[in-house]
Structures are given as C-alpha cells and as structure tokens.
Structure 1
C-alpha cells in the first residue's frame, strides 16, 4: 500500500468518526434538556435537534482479500479530503476567573460540590463531639441516653445520606462517611467512658461497621468512604485498648480489615486505599514486634500473623491486575518487592532472635522462593497476567534461592551454587532471549567471583593456622573447576551473535569483557593455589621443636624455609607457562585482537617480574644450597652451629627449568609480534625486549656461576667483559641484519660499560685485572670501529634508501 492509499483510508476513518461524534452531541443535548426539566419541575424543554446529514459509512474491504486481476490496472479513486469547521476558541485558565465567567468555572464547582460538604461534615462531627462532652460535664442526660442519642444521630445522618443517594450521590457519600465516623467514636465512648458494652461486643460492632463501609464504598463507587472507614477501623483497637496487651485480638482484627480490602481489590483498583492499609499494618506490626524483649513468648504469634499479612497483601496486589489482565506498573512492582522483603526481614529477625530456630533461616528463605514459584507457575499455566509479571516473580524466586544458599551453607558450596545459577540465567537470557535474566545474571557473575575470592583468602595464612589440605583433592579445587567450566560455557554463548537488547546495552558491553577476563584470572589463580598448597604442606611437615622440654607457650619451632622459595620458583614457572599457552591459544585458535593486546601486556609484565623477583628468588635458592639452613644451639662449650635441614641440587636445576620456560614465553611473544593480530605494533619493539632479556639472563648466569665457584669478587670484572662482548655481538647483528636500532643500542651499552669501568671497576679491581680489562675493552672498541669503516657503504646505502 502506497502513501496516497494509506492517506485516503485515514481520511475516510476520520470522516466516519466525525459523523458518530455529531450523533453523540445530539444525544448529549437531549439528556441535558431532560435533566434541566427534572431539576426545575416544569414542563419538558424540547431538545433542539440539529439536522444531521446522513452520509453513508465507507465499508472497508476485508483483510487479506486477493486483488482482482480485472481491475488491476485501474488507478485508485482519488478522494478529496473533507473540510472541517474551525473550532470555537476555548476560554483560557485566566479567563475562567473573570467576573462574567466565574459562575461557570470548575473552581466554583469544586468548592460548592466537594469542599464545602466535607468541611460541613467535619464541623458536624466536631459539633456532636462538643455537645456530647458538654452533656457529660454538666450531667444533663444519663450515660445510656447519651450513647443512644449518639447512635441516633449517626443513624439519622446515615438514613439521610441513603435517601439522597439517588440524586446527590457525591454529597450522600460524604454524609455516609461522617455517619460511620460518628458510629466508631460513639462505640468507643460506650466502651471506654461508661463501660456499657464489653470489649467483645465493641469488637463485633466495629467489624460490622467496617464491613458496611466496604459494601458502601463498592455501591457508591467512592474511595473516600473506604478511606474514612479504614482509618476509623485501624484506630479502633487503640481507642478500645484497656491495657490487656492482647496482641492476638489486635492482629486478628487488622487481618479482618485487610481481608475486606482484599475482597474490595477484586472489584476496585484503589491504590491509595491499598497504600494506607499496607503502610499502617506493617508499621503497627513492626512497632509492636521491635518493642518486645528478646526472651518474649510471641514467637508463634509473630510468625503466624506476619505470614498472614504477607499473603493478604500479596494477593491484594495481584488481584485486580490479574483478574482484569492489566499490565503491572512501577508502583505495583515496588509494592510487590516491598511486601516480599519486609516479610522476609521480619521473618528472618524472628527466627534469628530465637536460639531454637536459627538453623531454620535457610529453610525459611527457601520457603519464600517456593511461594513465589507457586505463584509464577499459576500465572504461567493459566496465563493470568502479562509476561513481565511472570518474569518478575520468577526473578524473585531466583533471588530467594540465591539468598538461601549463603544463609544455610558456607564455604565453596555458596560459590558453586551462585556460579551455576549465573551460568543458567546467562544461557536463558542469550539463547531464549529473555532480557531480564541477563540483568539478573550480571550481579550474580560478580557475586560468584567475589565469593570465590573470599574462599581463596581462607588459604592465605600458611603458618600453622591452616590444616594440611591435599592438592587437587579438595573442595576449593572442585569449586574452581566448576567456576571455570561455567565461565567457559558462558564465553561460548557470548561469542555467538545474538540480537542486542533495546535497553541496558551497557550490561552486555561489560559482560563481553568481564567474562573472559574473570575466566583467565580464575584459571591462573586456581592452579597456582594448588601448587602453593603442595609446598605449604611440605613446609608444615618440616616443623621441628628445638625446645622439647619447654612449655607449649615457650616452645621454639624451626621450619625449612627453602620450601617457601621453591614454591615461589614453581609458581613463576607455572606463570611463564600459563601466559605462553594463552598467547599460543590466541595465535592458533581464538585470533582475537583485544586478547592480543592483553597478551602483550601480560607477557611484558611476566618477563619483567621474572627478571627482577624471579631471578632474585633463584639466587636465594642457590645460596640456600650453598649454605644449609641452620640454627645456633647453646651447649657447655658455648655456641655451636647445628644444621637441621639439607637442601638438594633441585635448588640449582630449577633455575634452568625456569629459564627454559622463559624461552618458551619469548618465542611465543615473537610469534605474536609477527602475526597480523598486532596491527600497530612497532617493528623494533620485540628486538629491544629480546636482547635486553638475553643480556639480563647472561649477566645473571655469570653471577650464578661465579657464586657457585666461590669467586664472588670477580663478577665485577666478568660483567664488564660480558657487556663489552655483547655490545660487539649487537654491532655484528646490526650490520648483518641491517638493523640500525641494534647498532645504536650496542653503542649505548658500550658507553654504560665504560662508565662502569671508570667509576666502579677502577676502585675495586687490582692492577692486573684493570690492565686486562682496559686492553680487552680497547681492542673491542678498535674492532667495532674497524667494522664500521669496512661496512660503511652498507650503512650509507641503507640511509639513502630510508631517505
């Protein structure tokens, strides 16, 4: 259908609606004349009938009607758009207050028809109260007469209100509300002032008044009647209180009122009425419960009525919307959540306050989830409400199940449950396209991660305060594996192309990076903790009491701290392997540009960490191998060295294992730098990283060999010779591979070597060493100069080519 055809159809619809409106205006004018005639009591005023031009209604063709091939080429008729008369100018807000328009304004109508009668009924109630008080103080009539007269005034006002209902419904409703209020207070006076009626009778009368109020509110369709009756009903228990403290009677009465409002909610959607009953009920209950001492005897009563109120308000909130199949608004959702969590908070407080019911907190939380689940199932099976309400209640089910686990369980089981729950919600959100589940999985993902981090912190103290835990075969490792498996599953789901949500797009953007980042971090930490556990166990097993005869608090224990250094070395080896494997995985399978940048950052970080802390730890292992851990023991001849532990050659071998894994990392880094994943990676960057790392390792190895040879003083000379030779090596590579940056780097290194020679080495070396060092470095400089002169044509040609 083109634009002209659509415009014609819309104009036809508009013309039909205008015809119907003219008919409605005629009928309205007729009804107004009849009302005026009845009010004046005179002869009927003839209605002015405006002639209505009857135009045939345009009949639209049925949908999906196949086109007629005979008229397929006939152009559609052009329908002229109808002309409409210009509407009369409406009076503005300021014009309503002009003298000529004041009598017709809605402001005067509001005062005359609504405000005056409410003020009048209030003054009438006050007048009745003043008159009754005057009669009481002056003894004009007997107590029984006063009460009877009060009821007669209320009954008369009620009868007058009922009589006026047919013609003046709004005015009658206000009168009826005043009559009910008078009935409440007269009953209070009969019970409290004169003791003319017992408490049970007063209670029964108030229930009758409340029921009558609800019925009247429905008949009149006036919310004000229900409000006045409700406020009076909630005030009655306090007005009629004789200090007996019968909480059961109070809450039974409030429950009856709320049940009446529940019945009313199936007929009327009066939110202010529900707000008032909801707020007053929970305020009264909380004020009573929080004022009780901890050793009270109201455990069953508190739990019973809080549960009853919860169910009443739950059904009341759902009743009208579900019965009418209307959409839930924001206020309905807020009340649903408030009711659920207020009840849960009260129930949790009641159970936690009783020492015999503390263990039922998890079961109570799970019971809340079951209640919401039953409601969700009923709504889903019978299709009683919109889809959003079903998902909201189902989200509450998930929330309470999530809360039940940490309330009842502890440790890794909480993490396992939250992780699996987050993965399932994420699956339903992405695969089943249920947006609310992705919103729920978002906090659960981070909640599970922080719970796992808390589990890790329990293994932070390794020195005698934690029992020995077997690596791999423990709950912590099982928790980590389930976490890793769940996040791998979520990562696979996330990698698939799915439709982006219309709202809360930032959640999906955060999860796109958060899930793989958390997965990599948790995988690394999980296995590193198992390595640490193994060496922590070995460390604890080396515990020796050097003062067996001393009391426990004065005992002295010795540990083999070599295991701490071995643990650090093995974690460095694991780290080198992990980042190498991650880089190779990205190169071979994942091919992700963002991960490639992360690989670069991780590789650099690990290389720097190994060259500093890692090599330092390896040097301490070397020293521990050379000098066994020992302690001093006092005997008759004085202090004597006692050796408790002997360390094996693993302290030396682990150095070369570490360097081998460093080589694996450097090789994977080289492959990454040559791949197309790093588009803006500088060509010379890897050369700097590689040759600096190589020089650092060679220097460390030189110090290691000198130390093992017990020639600690000669490493200064050795480093100068090594750095000079390495400079020559870089010059040769730079000329051979035509890499200017290597030649410049070699010159800088040689300059550093010369500075070290003149500032540091000269003051520490003997004459022979100085002579040999100066001759060696001089020969190197001359040879480097010779190479530059011999291959200067290559350098010049390369410079010209670059220009």
Structure 2
C-alpha cells in the first residue's frame, strides 16, 4: 500500500511540475511577443516624419541656417492651419485638412505661415532602456503604514490558511475518532488536502500572487505533517521512504519559490526541510544521515543564493545548521570517549565551505556591496569553524596538526582574496576582509603550532613581510597588520627573555636560541625602519609615518643594546671571571655601544638626538666614578695584597677606560660643533671634561704608584698618603700647565680659567693639608715643580698678552658653531 501511495504522490508531483513548467513557458513566450511588439512600435515612431508645405524649406532655413530640411509636395498651396499648442505625448494624429485655393486666376502663391512641428510627428525622444520592475523601497519606520491594506492583503490570508489547516486537522481527527476512516484513508485525505491547496494556489498565481503563495505554504505544511503522522503513528511508510518523501516536498517547495519568486515559500521549505529529520527520527542518532541531509539542503540554498538575494533565507539556514551541528558536537563529541572526531571535522569543513559560498556568491556575481550582516555572517562562520576544528584536532594526534589547520584556513582565504583582488569585480570590503582573515590565521599559526622563541621568530619575519607587501600592493590593511604583529613580536621577545632569569643553565655563547631570537628581532626592526625610510608619504600620512619610523628607530636602538647585554649578563656569571672583572666587561660593552651611537649620530640632523647622546655621555662618566673605578681598586688590591686576582684581570680596566676616553672626545667634538666654546653649554662641557680628565689621571697615578712600589699590606696606607700629598700636587700642576697651554694655543679663555682654578686648589691643598705630612724630599720636589710651572705660566702670559687681549675683545671663529652645523 505504501508503494502505491508513493507512486500516486510521485505521479501527482510530476503532473503538477509539468503543468507549472508549461504555464511558465507560455508566460515567457507571451512576454517575448509583447516585447517584440513594443520594439516594432518604437521603431515606427522613430521613422515617422512630418509632410510640410512646399515652402517649408525656406522657413526652416531662416530659423536655423545649418539645419537640413526635406521638403515634400502638397496638393494645394494653401498652408494648413497651425495648431495652437503641440501635443504633449508622442502619438499619431491625422494629417491637417487642406484648404481650397481662393481664386482660379494665376497669381503668386500666398506665403504660408510656418507651423510648429506637431508632437505626433516630432522626433521621438530617446527613451530609457527597460530595466525591469522598480525595486521595492526599503521599509522605514518613518513611512506611513496603510493598516487596512496590510491587514486585508497580508495578515488575513495568513490567518485564514492557518485556521484552514487547523480545521482540516480537526475534521480528520474527528473522523478518526468516529472510525469513519482507516489509517490509509486518513493519510490519503491529508495528501489530497495538501495537493488541493497547491492546485488552487497554482490556478490563482497570476491574479493573486501573494494569496497563492500563502495557499502553497499551507498545502506544503499539510503534506509535511501528513507524512510525519503516517510514519510515526501508523507506520505506513518506512523511515527511508518517509525521509525521501519529505526531501522531495522540500525540493518541490524550493522550486515553487523560484517559479513564483516568493521568499516566503523558500523559508517554509527551509523550515520544513530542517524539521524533516526530527519528524522521521527514531532516536538512533545516526549523525551521518542527518548531516548529509542538512548538507544537501544547504546545497539547495547555495543554488538559490546564486539567483536570489534572499539574505533572510541564508540566515535561517545558517542558524539552523549551527544549532543542529553545535548541539550534536556538545552532546555526542565533547567529553565523550571514542567520539567521531574525524566525522565532526569533515562535516564542519563542508558546512563552512557551503556557507562561505552562500554568503559571497550573489554579491560577487552581481558586483554588489556587502552589508554589515553579511560580513558578520562571514566572519562568524570562519571563526566558529576554526574553533570547532581546533577542538577536534586537539584530540587527534595530540593537537599536532592544529598549526597546519590554521595555516590551511589562512591559505584558503588567501586564494579567494587573491583571485577576487585580481578580478576587479567585487566589493573591496570583501577583499580586505579576506586579507584580514589571512593575516589573522597566519599570525595565530605561530603560537598554536610553535613554542617559545619560534613564535617570536615567525612574527619577526611576518612583520617585515607584511610591510613589504603593503608597499607593493598598496593595501593599507597589511600595514596595520604589520604594526600589530611587530608589537606582538616585541612582547613575545620579552617573554622569551624571562628564561634568562628563570633558568641559569649553561647556554652556548651566542649560538643559543635566546640570543639568536634577539638578533632576528633586531633585524626585523632594522628591516622595518629601512622600508619605512624608502616610502614617499602623502601630506596626510607624512607626520604619522615619521612618528612611527621614529618609534621603530628608538626601539631598534633599545633592543640592539639589550640583546648583547642580556647575553653577557647570562654568560659572565657562568665564566671563571671574578665579579669585579665582569663589571669591567659590562662597562666596556656599554661604552662601546655609546661610542657607536656617537659615530652614527653624525648622520642625524635633529638636535634632540645630539642632546640625548651628550646626556648619556655624562652618565657614562658618572658610572665610571661610581662603579668601574671601585671595581678597579678591588682588582688592584686583590692582585697586590690578597693574591686573589691576576694582573690580567686588573689590566682589563684599560678597556673601559680607553672607551670612556673616546666617548668624552667625541662628546667634546659634538659640543663644539653644536654649541661652540663661547656659549654656556660649551663652557660647562669644558669644565666637566677637564674635571673628569684630572680625576682619571689621579686614579691612574695612584694605581701605577702602588704597582711600581709594591708595598706590603701594612704599608699600603703610607704609600697612598705619599701619593696624595706629593704625587697629586705635582700631577695637578702638570694638568694645569697643559690646560693653560691648550687655552693659549686655541685661544680658549674657559680653559685658561680652569687652569688657574686648578692651580689655586692645588696650592690650597698643598699648604693646608699636605705640607705638614710631607717628607723633606717630597717638599723639595713639590715646591720646585710647582714653582717652575707657575713661572713658566706667568712668562707665557707676559709674552702672549697681546694675543690674549685680542682673544678677549673679539671672540675667535671657533667659539661659535660652524655654519653648516647650525
């Protein structure tokens, strides 16, 4: 019996489909004939011309000398009576009447009055091409709603079909309760009732389009519920047959929605289609059959989306699929032993591809812009699929392929983005959105698949690559992504550096992952800074680009300093060097780095950078006095008195000392070029560097005296006292003499003032502090040396007083900045 009913239903469907196809074909033929007839009428109107009187050419020539007028002969010379006004529409009118001549005798023909061209025979105005029916204006709350029309044409018919379906149901129920109809008859009544509604709707489709679509919806609903009752209550159909019947009903409803151009029918078919598995479900939980059916249903929606822009239909299908797949995933996969992970990933991939195409296919075909809901649907589809894929792959081979899955998803979006970008056919918003997804997945693949410093290495290379691609393609989104990835790379590098402090395990010098990662990060910053320097920004981007390049340059200097410093901090404590020797090596590195910055700064024109480097040079001198000099004293004493240090360890201090001397010289040159010696900053710099030079010379004299005399531990104090009482006055006197010589030869009054001041403090120290503790030999040597130096200086003042006076009255050229350095 069920086979017979199925056969009857198939025959009815085929008959109805053939009838609908026949009527649609006839309608198309009629429409084509109407269009051809309209085209012929337009052609006749365009070819129609006025038959003017005999002398119409002369009148036309007077109006427009450049116009060519064709004259046609008339039966009588009398002109027709001109109409007062031209007809407003291009329509055919009968020719004007011809008046008889006034007399038979020959004579000159009266001059006809030129008549204006009649609208019926005027050149037909160019008509716009047929563009189809005007699209309905979008609904706005500011529009005035015709409630009578809404209720009468829209609401009542839907209520009526719903009540009719309920009435049929009540009738069938009553007949069943009274045992009037057996099971097969009940199902037949339901099928006939649904088919009758569809047939009536088809007859009314041309004159009552909206009403017929409502009847079709009611008929399809009756068919759905009839098949469901026949399966569940009476077991007339098997599960497979019932499922096939509902699938056929769904496909037929989608066909009718396209034939009638009614989205409501497609929505009904979609809701019924998603409800069909539940209507014929037996509780076995066969997810393969369920998802295959949903996939076929979504494939039908994809075909429909190619022809119709029914976003509501796409959204309903999207929501139903998420609910069904998500519910199954959380109930049958999550926290379930031996879950079908591969099946879950397979169907998630297929659903993602289908809805990706559903979202973009119509807009790409019609070159339309993407709306906000469409973009949100595309983004949510991607990230929901990505989340499900990551979860499933976490349980497949221990998550080993999660990074590969991320890269594959990014590559898929990249292929579409590149193809659409090259075609120049689609909305740029879609291209940029796909590019953003590609960049996102490319950046996420590193922390997902890689560990530790490999993430930093990946992001370092990606940041430079994205900036280069943005310059080649002109896509600004890549530039913004480059900035974000560069920031992530620096954060990841700082997290990697925490391993320096967390673990103290030995690492190979320089050839370890932390140092190599730091070098690559510095190279990434350098590449970014170099690429930014090659750009020619627009006036609007100029300031922003310069600011960003300045920030990248500062970060480059900072990380270029930190990368070797952290490596030294990790390697030196693991070496056999003493703590004081390590301090000297770290100081030497700092001075060498500062020396490199001073040399590089010659290319910079911004005075702010020069002032910053001068301040760092002053800090370097203070660092030596507070940190490196005490470390040198400890090394010296350890070598001389406790034998805990070696002479080589002590000699290490000459490295930072020489580097500091070079730093001070370059800083002095920079001050001379930028400020000159006559300014306040020039004078202050001469004072500071002179004081630092005297201090360094005094410390080295102390070290050398002790190394040469090699006193015992008990005689250390007496030796130092002799150095301070005798050696320092003599050394300071020599320094004062040298400063005076430089001041006179270079015509620098500040150096001469510094020399005299140093002489004054030297004499003050000698007479107030050192004289009573000096030995006789020390007194003789100190006083003779200082006396000779003072006499020489006085003689030089007397001999060079004219030059000095000229120097004081007219500043020399070297006291002002150089012209090209201002």
Question: Please, what TM-score do these two structures have when normalized by structure 2?
Answer: 0.66
Partner residue, 1:308: 350
Unaligned runs of 5+ in 1: 1-21, 27-49, 60-92, 98-104, 540-561, 630-645
Q: CA deviation at 1:268?
A: 1.1
Partner residue, 1:319: 361
State the alpha-carbon separation in 2 of the partners of residues 399 and 259 from structure 1: 28
- Partner SS state of residue 689, structure 2: helix
Asked if the contact 1:380–1:390 (Cα under 8 Å) also holds between the matched residues in 2, the reply is yes
State the alpha-carbon separation in 2 of the partners of residues 217 and 620 from structure 1: 95
| Cα gap change, 1:713 to 1:127, in 2 (>3 Å) | farther
State the alpha-carbon separation in 2 of the partners of residues 112 and 344 from structure 1: 48
1:571 to 566, 586, 604: 586
State the alpha-carbon separation in 2 of the partners of residues 713 and 205 from structure 1: 115
State the alpha-carbon separation in 1 of the partners of residues 736 and 454 from structure 2: 59
2:294 to 249, 254, 257: 254
1:170-209 → structure 2 map (5 Å cutoff): 170-209=210-249
Partner residue, 1:664: 662
1:359 to 396, 400, 405: 400
Larger CA deviation: 520-529 vs 440-449:
520-529
1:723-762 → structure 2 map (5 Å cutoff): 737-739=748-750
Partner residue, 1:460: 501
Residue 227 (1) aligns with residue 267 (2): yes
- Partner SS state of residue 232, structure 1: helix
Partner residue, 1:396: 437
- Partner SS state of residue 441, structure 1: helix
State the alpha-carbon separation in 2 of the partners of residues 390 and 746 from structure 1: 75
Partner residue, 1:289: 329
Larger CA deviation: 299-308 vs 704-713:
704-713
1:35-50 → structure 2 map (5 Å cutoff): none
1:99-114 → structure 2 map (5 Å cutoff): 106-114=146-154
Residue 269 (1) aligns with residue 295 (2): no
1:114-513 → structure 2 map (5 Å cutoff): 114-128=154-168, 141-291=181-331, 292-354=334-396, 356=397, 358-379=399-420, 385-386=426-427, 389-390=430-431, 392-461=433-502, 463=504, 466-469=505-508, 471-500=509-538, 508=545, 511-513=548-550
| Cα gap change, 1:146 to 1:687, in 2 (>3 Å) | farther
Q: Provide Cα deviations, 1:26-75, integer angstroms capped at 9, x if missing partner.
A: 9xxxxxxxxxxxxxxxxxxxxxxx9899688799xxxxxxxxxxxxxxxx
Asked if the contact 2:635–2:650 (Cα under 8 Å) also holds between the matched residues in 1, the reply is yes
Q: CA deviation at 1:312?
A: 0.8
| Cα gap change, 1:163 to 1:671, in 2 (>3 Å) | farther
Q: CA deviation at 1:443?
A: 1.3
State the alpha-carbon separation in 2 of the partners of residues 138 and 624 from structure 1: 118
Partner residue, 2:53: none
State the alpha-carbon separation in 2 of the partners of residues 245 and 95 from structure 1: 50
| Cα gap change, 1:529 to 1:23, in 2 (>3 Å) | farther
State the alpha-carbon separation in 2 of the partners of residues 624 and 517 from structure 1: 41
Unaligned runs of 5+ in 2: 1-87, 92-117, 128-139, 799-803, 812-822
State the alpha-carbon separation in 2 of the partners of residues 681 and 179 from structure 1: 99
State the alpha-carbon separation in 2 of the partners of residues 622 and 650 from structure 1: 10
Partner residue, 1:580: 595
- Partner SS state of residue 266, structure 1: helix
Asked if the contact 2:306–2:361 (Cα under 8 Å) also holds between the matched residues in 1, the reply is yes
Q: CA deviation at 1:308?
A: 0.7
Asked if the contact 2:470–2:478 (Cα under 8 Å) also holds between the matched residues in 1, the reply is yes
| Cα gap change, 1:53 to 1:663, in 2 (>3 Å) | farther
Larger radius of gyration: 2
Asked if the contact 1:592–1:677 (Cα under 8 Å) also holds between the matched residues in 2, the reply is no
Q: CA deviation at 1:604?
A: 4.8
Partner residue, 1:514: 551
2:563 to 519, 526, 535: 526
| Cα gap change, 1:488 to 1:53, in 2 (>3 Å) | farther
State the alpha-carbon separation in 2 of the partners of residues 57 and 650 from structure 1: 105
State the alpha-carbon separation in 1 of the partners of residues 616 and 537 from structure 2: 32
Larger CA deviation: 309-318 vs 372-381:
372-381
Asked if the contact 2:686–2:751 (Cα under 8 Å) also holds between the matched residues in 1, the reply is no
| Cα gap change, 1:148 to 1:483, in 2 (>3 Å) | same
State the alpha-carbon separation in 2 of the partners of residues 707 and 322 from structure 1: 88
| Cα gap change, 1:58 to 1:201, in 2 (>3 Å) | closer
State the alpha-carbon separation in 1 of the partners of residues 314 and 565 from structure 2: 57
Q: Provide Cα deviations, 1:739-791, integer angstroms capped at 9, x if missing partner.
A: 59988x989x99xx99xxx9xx9xxx99969xx9xxx9xx9xxx9xxx9xx99
Partner residue, 1:40: none
Q: How many residues align?
A: 654
State the alpha-carbon separation in 2 of the partners of residues 681 and 52 from structure 1: 98
Larger CA deviation: 681-690 vs 659-668:
681-690
- Partner SS state of residue 195, structure 1: coil
Larger CA deviation: 610-619 vs 487-496:
610-619
| Cα gap change, 1:685 to 1:768, in 2 (>3 Å) | closer
Q: Provide Cα deviations, 1:78-107, integer angstroms capped at 9, x if missing partner.
A: xxxxxxxxxxxxxxx99998xxxxxxx634
State the alpha-carbon separation in 2 of the partners of residues 133 and 702 from structure 1: 119
Partner residue, 1:86: none
Partner residue, 1:641: none
| Cα gap change, 1:497 to 1:372, in 2 (>3 Å) | closer
Q: CA deviation at 1:263?
A: 0.6
| Cα gap change, 1:142 to 1:574, in 2 (>3 Å) | same
State the alpha-carbon separation in 2 of the partners of residues 456 and 173 from structure 1: 69
Partner residue, 1:686: 685
State the alpha-carbon separation in 1 of the partners of residues 125 and 351 from structure 2: 56
State the alpha-carbon separation in 2 of the partners of residues 576 and 184 from structure 1: 86
State the alpha-carbon separation in 2 of the partners of residues 390 and 205 from structure 1: 42
Q: Provide Cα deviations, 1:343-400, integer angstroms capped at 9, x if missing partner.
A: 222111101123x252222322232233234434544566553555445434534443
Partner residue, 1:6: none
| Cα gap change, 1:435 to 1:381, in 2 (>3 Å) | closer
| Cα gap change, 1:490 to 1:239, in 2 (>3 Å) | same
Q: CA deviation at 1:533?
A: 5.2
Q: CA deviation at 1:436?
A: 2.3
| Cα gap change, 1:434 to 1:607, in 2 (>3 Å) | farther
- Partner SS state of residue 440, structure 1: helix
Asked if the contact 2:89–2:119 (Cα under 8 Å) also holds between the matched residues in 1, the reply is no
| Cα gap change, 1:114 to 1:420, in 2 (>3 Å) | same
| Cα gap change, 1:262 to 1:606, in 2 (>3 Å) | farther
| Cα gap change, 1:616 to 1:350, in 2 (>3 Å) | farther
Q: CA deviation at 1:135?
A: 6.2
Larger CA deviation: 727-736 vs 393-402:
727-736
